[in-house]
Amino acid sequence: MPNDLTPPSDAFAKSAHIDAETYEKMYAASVADPEAFWAEHGQRVDWIKPFTVVRSTSFAPGNIDIKWFEDGTLNVAANCIDRHLATRADQTAIIWEPDDPNDAAKHITYAELHRETCKMANILEDMGVRKGDRVVIYLPMIPEAAYAMLACARIGAIHSIVFAGFSPDALGARINGCDAKVLITADYAPRGGRQTPLKSNADAALLNVLHDCKVLVVRRTGGQITWMEGRDHDYAELRLEADDHTPAAEMAAEDPLFILYTSGSTGQPKGVVHTTGGYLVYASMTHAYTFDYHDGDIFWCTADVGWVTGHSYIVYGPLANGATTLMFEGVPTYPDAGRFWAVCEKHKVNQFYTAPTAIRALMGQGDEFVTKYDLSDLKLLGSVGEPINPEAWNWYNTVVGGGRCPIVDTWWQTETGGHLITPLPGAIATKPGSATKPFFGVQPVVLDAHSGTEITSTEAEGVLCLKDSWPGQMRTVWGDHERFEKTYFSDYKGYYFSGDGCRRDADGYYWITGRVDDVINVSGHRMGTAEVESALVAHAKVAEAAVVGYPHQIKGQGIYAYVTLMNGVEPSDDLRKELESWVRTEIGPIAKPDLIQWAPGLPKTRSGKIMRRILRKIAENDYGALGDTSTLADPSVVDNLIENRANKG
């Protein structure tokens, strides 16, 4: 019954920031007069010099230019910390829950956050970091990760976080990509009872970095590491001497705040650039309204700060709102499948935000892992990263939320900075599997994929684009503005193209149907099939590879790789394992193929183009729908692939 409407309860709607009527009124105002709307809501952050220009944005071909609040100045760290000190110095800003439940949690107050951020800022300055310099952060989920982000923001340095699950190669490429002056890392990252050797990964990464890059090392476990005198700096030691009052730099609204690499359909990951003013306005506003955050609530987003969700909804959004945000170092299944709920009970979490892949994995473990905990403090549940299937939605709703917590299914992207399509929980009746309605100022359109024309009827199916800018929009691809235009504004001129397909139903609700490009979504993480392919062909025994997604019960999509071996190389289980671990080391564990099929040949057109559509169908076990195969150079290739399809196991 995916069309069942679940309206907000009267009690929830009554105390919510935004009820149905307010939503309609504010949404209408936000699109009728965006200047006036954002002039007002731009005030939710503190400006050093107030802006007078609300926006100048253009999606016009050849002139993609996005600026919000451009003549205003501000500092993000001051907004996330200093401005709260008068009223919240002793309030907990960050609750840190360690990987091992037997270790003590930490409660970091706004006063402490201020002190630690200033110290970190001072250390970075002493290491030579100046306004506009880049700092790469490769850390576990520890409070120092937040200090590092905010310290960069404080002195005007641009951070680029690399998820601690990425390999040395991926880390090295990102350090080179932004010419980082400093890399902040830790000795080890404990996760699920295991430890990733971050420092030794960093050492390996830096072998491929030719410019001077200093390293700041946080001791998380105290485990053994190698040390390079002169290059490596000990955080604990420097912290003792560091000044705990570092002034907050005055930044222009359009100065970059961070770079975050994300996978696209072609080539290497691109550095998404977010700037200072618009991003903060948007992250904080969506945090407050989508989660209906109220003063004193405990907010928990289970993402990692290595992803955009962690940037916007662990650190910047909540802290700009003076919230208490929970940061969790571990994984949902350690020491057992009840960990999320144990943490919710322990810290009295009010809003909980996670990914469908985690929900599906936990749902399979049985309800007792949930029901043995007291979850009565939960008021709202959130979902992000991929479409949530109605079965998982219903389980989340009834077993976790006890039927009383609205579910916000938030659709957005690294590129969008914050939620674009999401229910506002006091205003919008939800339907399992639908991200529902646009946030304020957001104008989604559904285009016919082939003609590119806008489908104006309420019911529509096609590709999801945005007609106009919003403050949290990415501004450029780091160092490559042309790629920015080519990726997002060239397929459908005059629009921002999301890369997602969608359906709009008779009620005007949006249903995201998944990527329409060669990006797959594995456990809520974006993976470019081209990236995995280039890792595979870099192996000496591989001649050619084609990677597609296929439906996977837990991960949403799994990675299916068709591999053609070099002449004379025999396929074997050992070689399969070797290729799996090869991709792990080239990119990281999240890119490991779930299935590898040996393919003596790949289906190609006569001009040599791989016909991925056919490969996707075979991977999906959907042979009836192979479509037009008349352009194949050698149709027998397809029969062979079907016959030898890898087992879903």
Binding residues for ATP: 385-387, 409-414, 500, 515, 526
Helix (H/G/I), strand (E/B), else coil: 618: helix
Q: Which residue has the tokens 């229910």?
A: 423
Question: Which CB sits closer to ligand WTA, 122 or 160?
Answer: 160
Question: Which CB sits closer to ligand WTA, 92 or 416?
Answer: 416
Query: Residue 174 and residue 135: Cα distance in Å, rounded?
Result: 11
- Of 521, 523, 557, 564, the residue at the interface with ligand WTA (CB under 6 A) is 521
Query: Residue 196 and residue 223: Cα distance in Å, rounded?
Result: 11
Query: Residue 193 and residue 335: Cα distance in Å, rounded?
Result: 8
The site string for ligand WTA over 389-418 (x = CB under 6 A, - otherwise) reads --------------------xxxxxx----
512 binds ligand WTA per the rule CB under 6 A = yes
Q: Which residue has the tokens 């193929």?
A: 593
The site string for ligand WTA over 433-472 (x = CB under 6 A, - otherwise) reads --x-------------------------------------
Residues 206 and 175: beta-carbon distance below 8 Å: yes
Cα angle: 25, vertex 28, 31; to 5 degrees: 145
271 binds ligand WTA per the rule CB under 6 A = no
Q: Please report how close the Cβ of residue 513 comes to ligand WTA at its closest, in angstroms.
A: 8
Q: What residues form the annotated binding site for CoA?
A: 191-194, 309, 523, 584
Is the C-alpha dihedral spanning 58, 59, 62, 65 positive or negative? positive
Write the CB contacts of 398 (distance below 8 Å, at least 6 apart in sequence): none
386 binds ligand WTA per the rule CB under 6 A = yes
CA 264 to chain centre: 13
3-state helix, strand, coil in the chain (%, to 5): 35, 25, 40
Question: Which CB sits closer to ligand WTA, 409 or 586?
Answer: 409
Question: Which CB sits closer to ligand WTA, 232 or 518?
Answer: 518
517 binds ligand WTA per the rule CB under 6 A = no
Question: Which CB sits closer to ligand WTA, 327 or 602?
Answer: 327
Number of shown-chain residues binding ligand WTA (CB under 6 A): 22
Helix (H/G/I), strand (E/B), else coil: 107: strand
Q: Which residues pair with 110 in a beta bridge?
A: none
550 binds ligand WTA per the rule CB under 6 A = no
Of all helices (H) and strands (E), which one includes residue 135? Answer: strand 134-138
Report the residue closest to ligand WTA, judged by CB: 414
The site string for ligand WTA over 284-313 (x = CB under 6 A, - otherwise) reads -----------------------xxx----
Question: Which range touches ligand WTA (CB under 6 A), out of 384-392, 477-485, 531-539, 599-607?
Answer: 384-392
- Of 515, 539, 555, 576, the residue at the interface with ligand WTA (CB under 6 A) is 515
Question: Which range touches ligand WTA (CB under 6 A), out of 51-59, 379-387, 539-547, 587-595?
Answer: 379-387
500 binds ligand WTA per the rule CB under 6 A = yes
Query: Residue 212 and residue 218: Cα distance in Å, rounded?
Result: 20
What strand order describes the sheet that includes 214-218?
A: 232-234, 214-218, 182-186, 134-138, 158-161, 256-262, 270-275, 476-477
Q: What residues form the annotated binding site for Mg(2+)?
A: 537, 539, 542
Question: Which CB sits closer to ligand WTA, 385 or 426?
Answer: 385
Question: Which CB sits closer to ligand WTA, 356 or 603?
Answer: 356
350 binds ligand WTA per the rule CB under 6 A = no
Question: Which range touches ligand WTA (CB under 6 A), out of 33-41, 331-339, 494-502, 615-623?
Answer: 494-502
473 binds ligand WTA per the rule CB under 6 A = no
Residues 385 and 354: beta-carbon distance below 8 Å: no
Pairing status of strand 324-328 against strand 298-301 = parallel
End-to-end Cα, the chain, rounded Å: 30
- Of 526, 539, 555, 616, the residue at the interface with ligand WTA (CB under 6 A) is 526
Question: Which CB sits closer to ligand WTA, 414 or 443?
Answer: 414
Question: Which CB sits closer to ligand WTA, 109 or 413?
Answer: 413
- Of 499, 549, 588, 603, the residue at the interface with ligand WTA (CB under 6 A) is 499
Closest CA to 27 of 375, 472, 438, 474: 438
Q: What residues form the annotated binding site?
A: 191-194, 309, 385-387, 409-414, 500, 515, 523, 526, 537, 539, 542, 584
Q: Please report how close the Cβ of residue 130 comes to ligand WTA at its closest, in angstroms.
A: 30
380 binds ligand WTA per the rule CB under 6 A = no
Question: Which CB sits closer to ligand WTA, 190 or 356?
Answer: 356
DSSP 402-455: TT-S-EEEEB--GGGSS-SB---TTT--B-TT--BSBPTT--EEEE-TTT--B-
Query: Residue 474 and residue 274: Cα distance in Å, rounded?
Result: 5
Is the C-alpha dihedral spanning 360, 361, 366, 367 positive or negative? negative
Residues in the site for ligand WTA, rule: CB under 6 A?
262, 307-309, 384-387, 409-414, 435, 498-500, 512, 515, 521, 526
